[in-house]
């Protein structure tokens, strides 16, 4: 039976921008296999850490590499390298913009030169023989509804992810777990459910100047890479400078239109999307 010695002498650590990087050294002796097969036997001996295992003392650091080296005809030295979670690995940024057609209503105001010109073009004089006598010979200025184009930026961010993030805590997954050791389908499907179609709850660190409720997460995709431990995750966000709200307004039952002299008391905005904290996606 193989014997394991956990060697303390010579172990080293580095504390850098991404946190701890620390090694552990093991000597596995009394191995039975011959040649290079002895490396396989040593790495798979009970008591040797597996890829993704947490460090016994620094539990936020996980085993990322095992380096076996033959010492004698029946013993192998194994160096286990642990690294802490790094949220800033392998970013790919792309920015594009689109234009969305939205409908707005012009309210005529004689003091506004731009709308006065439009007002003169939509005046209608009812004829003397108009079927409804109440409208005969009357001048009508209708409210003009016209589609306009507004600039709506779209930001797409892709990155390679190895571990769960803060956003996954609400789904029951601790931050920093290797995605290869959890149900990755559940992680990403729950993350999509919590963020897709949601708007930023507060100022977003990626766009600090953006007001709450102005950005919407419009898409999230995750694709497993050939190494079976890395996922390429893409996020898409849309900015609506008018806010993601629907405006309700009083309708004149006689004309079926919004009155041209309506004030703010005759309108009410309704939020149409749920809030989410985009900062928890750690896209900074």
Are 103 and 188 members of one domain? yes
SS3 label, residue 195? helix
Are 103 and 206 members of one domain? yes
Are 277 and 148 members of one domain? yes
Question: Could you tell me the pTM of the whole model?
Answer: 0.56
Are 27 and 138 members of one domain? no
* pLDDT of res. 206: 72
Are 47 and 30 members of one domain? yes
Residues with Cβ within 8 Å of residue 157, at least 6 apart in sequence: 91, 92, 93, 94, 234, 235, 236, 237, 283
Are 203 and 134 members of one domain? no
Are 125 and 231 members of one domain? no
Q: The domain containing residue 51 runs over which residues?
A: 3-84
Are 31 and 100 members of one domain? no
In 3D space, the residue among 67, 66, 70, 65 whose CA is nearest the CA of residue 38 turns out to be: 70
Q: What is the number of residues in the chain?
A: 284
Are 41 and 123 members of one domain? no
* DSSP letters for 106-129: E---TT-HHHHHHHHHSEEE--TT
The total domain count for the chain is 3
Are 77 and 205 members of one domain? no
* pLDDT of res. 258: 67
Are 30 and 119 members of one domain? no
Report helix, strand and coil shares of the chain as percent, to nearest 5: 15, 40, 40
| pLDDT (tens place) for every residue of the chain, 284 residues total | 577 878 877 778 888 766 788 999 999 999 999 888 999 999 999 999 988 788 888 887 888 889 999 999 899 999 999 987 654 455 565 666 666 665 555 444 333 444 444 444 456 777 888 888 888 888 776 555 555 666 778 888 888 888 899 999 999 998 888 888 889 999 999 999 999 999 998 888 777 777 888 899 999 999 998 878 889 999 999 888 777 877 676 776 676 776 666 666 666 667 678 899 999 998 86
Are 148 and 32 members of one domain? no
């Amino acid at each position: 039976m193989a014997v394991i010695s956990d060697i303390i002498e010579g172990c080293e650590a580095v504390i850098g921008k991404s946190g701890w990087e620390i090694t552990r050294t093991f000597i596995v002796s009394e191995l039975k296999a011959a040649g290079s097969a002895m490396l396989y036997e040593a790495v798979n001996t009970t008591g040797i850490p597996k890829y993704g295992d947490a460090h016994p003392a620094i539990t936020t650091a996980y085993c990322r590499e095992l380096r076996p080296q033959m010492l004698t005809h029946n013993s192998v030295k194994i160096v286990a390298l642990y690294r802490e979670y790094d949220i800033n690995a392998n970013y790919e940024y792309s920015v594009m913009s689109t234009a969305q057609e939205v409908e707005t209503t012009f309210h005529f105001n004689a003091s506004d030169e731009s709308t006065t010109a439009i007002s003169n073009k939509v005046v209608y004089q009812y004829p003397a023989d108009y079927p409804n006598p109440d409208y005969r010979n009357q001048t009508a200025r209708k409210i003009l509804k016209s589609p306009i184009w507004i600039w709506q930026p779209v930001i797409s961010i892709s990155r390679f992810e190895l571990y769960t993030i803060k956003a996954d805590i609400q789904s029951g997954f601790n931050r920093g777990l290797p995605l290869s050791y959890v149900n990755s389908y559940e992680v990403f499907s729950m993350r999509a459910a919590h963020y897709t179609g949601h708007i930023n709850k507060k100022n977003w660190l990626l766009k600090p100047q953006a007001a709450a409720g102005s950005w919407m997460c419009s898409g999230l995709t995750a694709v497993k890479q050939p190494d079976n431990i890395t996922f390429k995750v893409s996020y898409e966000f849309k900015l609506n400078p008018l806010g993601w709200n629907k405006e309700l307004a009083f309708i004149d039952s006689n004309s079926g239109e919004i009155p041209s002299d309506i004030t703010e008391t005759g309108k009410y905005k309704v939020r149409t999307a749920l809030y989410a904290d985009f900062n928890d996606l750690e896209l900074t």
